[in-house]
Amino acid sequence: MHLYLALLFFTTALGAVTAPGPGSSTLSPPACPRALPQDPQTVATLVHKYSQVVGNYSDALASSFLAEGFTDVSDSINALAGLPLGTVTFPSKQAFMASQESQPKIPLVVTGTHAVTHDTVVIRYTQTFGAANLPVAGISILEFGHDQHKNAWMIPNVGRELASIRHEALEPCGEHVTSASGFDLLCSYSWKEKTRGGETGRSEPPQIYVPGEAPALVLHELPCVARNTRTIHFRDANVARMPSYPFEPMFQSMSVMNPKASFDHVDLVINRNSLTHLLRFANGTGQKSFRLDLAMVHNTLIVTPVWEKITEARRHRNNLGREFEDLFVRRRPDMHDSSTHHRAIRYDLGSLSCAVLLEIDASLDDFDELKRSRSHKHWRFMSKPRSLSHQKLSEEGLPRTDAETCFHMNSKFTRVDVIYYGTSFRAFEMEHQDGLQRLVSLIKQLKQFAISATDQSCIVMYDRAVRPLALRVFEHEKAPRPPLPEDLRSQFWTEAGAER
């Protein structure tokens, strides 16, 4: 039996002060490090975001753009409420959000930017109120500063909010979700490490080996000591190396290995990490904020991940997961300069036909023989998990075919368990059928949102800092590029070139 392994290891937003009506706004966050007058693009962006928070309000936008020390002085509201001029109208970010949430959305049009200092912008604007559509003009004084909102990376190019999906509102699809039909291999590839060469010293363009091959697991004698390395690891090599088209390597490798494949009847293209995020949300167990960019190509929804940080630093001095991978795998001599290995498979998720891209850490030959062998001390080969329950599988996301867990003291690895999860799929599916069916319903909803959105593309965000917890769907502020180059869309979809 040949196993492909996943190695398991145990052990600046800008805040804007806003004023809903004529008057001034005050806030004293740290000044922007670069004077605003010298950065007109930043000024334009901040003013636009202000107009969105006031005129096209959503909790997600307000949570991301308003500083934690936010206050608002609106003399127009104070006058209507009988309060002394200069009184703080909204003493906190939360008070402002509660008020805005209860008001109808009234678009705000910025008619001019009249003064800019190192941290302050004065604007004129108009809004139209009431059944008579009476125009009202106002002045706002906006102060900006850097806020350390940890999820600010999710906000670029976010436009109008289209919908909000609560976990509790998801209904099971009513179709039995099972892996009984198996899967088809679409392609495989391995990234080639970049090297500097020649007199120019220029880096090579991104390259892949097709077909790729996962590195082999090395059964080192234990205990074994890991060395700290300076190797740069990517959370997602495809996004890191091909940020414009992260799925292009998959389709380029398919043009070699499976050139006649048709995606006309494929419902979803996604990577395993993104699918896991959606499954956790469907199960009500989402612990991490995430953003996914959705786009339609013909009848296929393509889900592209957006990352806060694409490079991976060690999270703790005792977290040696990447060092373990470097130590316990060996690459083929003719692929010695390869790095991450990826495979794309197609399988059915209920009534959905899905193409899923996976990263494979290592492979292992002769699992059954090794399981019977006693020659590898401190290595255990198990055909079903002993220490990881089905609940753990659910927390991890979609079940893995197999995985390897290691145990260590400081930098010394003392035991390694190689676990074959294939026998656990059926039990996992039965136990988590409700969550899997909710996942199918969620994907179908997201596909419909993408179809209906401008340019058939939209943004999905799950922000743990925003209550109530929900999956929020937004239009793009500016039209994004298609998820794949035109030549690949034309090759794998019928009339794809004329569609976008």
pLDDT of the chain, 500 residues: tens digit per residue: 455 555 544 332 223 333 333 344 443 333 344 456 666 777 887 888 888 888 888 887 787 778 777 888 888 788 878 888 888 888 888 888 888 888 888 888 999 888 788 778 888 989 887 666 778 888 888 887 655 556 677 878 888 888 999 989 999 999 999 988 889 999 999 999 876 554 545 667 899 999 999 888 877 777 777 666 666 778 899 999 999 999 999 999 999 999 999 999 999 999 999 999 999 999 988 888 999 999 999 999 999 999 988 887 655 455 555 666 777 788 888 988 998 999 999 999 999 999 999 998 888 777 666 666 766 776 776 666 554 444 444 434 454 445 545 544 456 677 777 777 666 677 778 888 999 999 999 999 999 999 999 999 999 999 887 777 889 999 998 899 999 999 999 999 986 444 44
Output the six-digit token pair for 488.
Answer: 């690949």
pLDDT for position 490: 96
Give me the residue spans of the domains in the chain: 13-149, 169-492
pLDDT for position 321: 56
Please count the residues of the chain. Answer: 500
Helices 272-283 and 433-452: angle between axes, nearest 10 degrees? 110
Residue 222 CA to residue 414 CA, distance in Å, equals: 6
With 0.75 as the threshold, say if the pTM is over it: no
Output the six-digit token pair for 260.
Answer: 């006649």
Phi, psi for 242 (deg, rounded to 5): -130, 65
pLDDT for position 210: 96
pLDDT for position 367: 66
* Cβ burial 274-292 (10 Å sphere, 16+ → b, else e): bbbbbbbbbbeebeebbbb
Output the six-digit token pair for 77.
Answer: 């509201």
Residue 238 CA to residue 257 CA, distance in Å, equals: 19
Phi, psi for 88 (deg, rounded to 5): -65, 115
pLDDT for position 293: 98
Residue 461 CA to residue 469 CA, distance in Å, equals: 11
pLDDT for position 431: 86
pLDDT for position 382: 67
* Nearest Cα residue to 295 out of 279, 280, 306: 306
Contact between 286 and 463 under an 8 Å Cβ cutoff? The reply is no
Q: Where are the alpha helices (DSSP H) in 221-346?
A: 237-241, 248-257, 272-283, 321-328
13-149 to CATH, choices 2.60.40, 3.40.710, 3.10.450, 1.10.1760: 3.10.450
pLDDT for position 313: 61
Output the six-digit token pair for 404.
Answer: 């390897």
pLDDT for position 350: 94
pLDDT for position 391: 41
Residue 39 CA to residue 17 CA, distance in Å, equals: 19
The pairing of strands 120-129 and 412-420 is unpaired
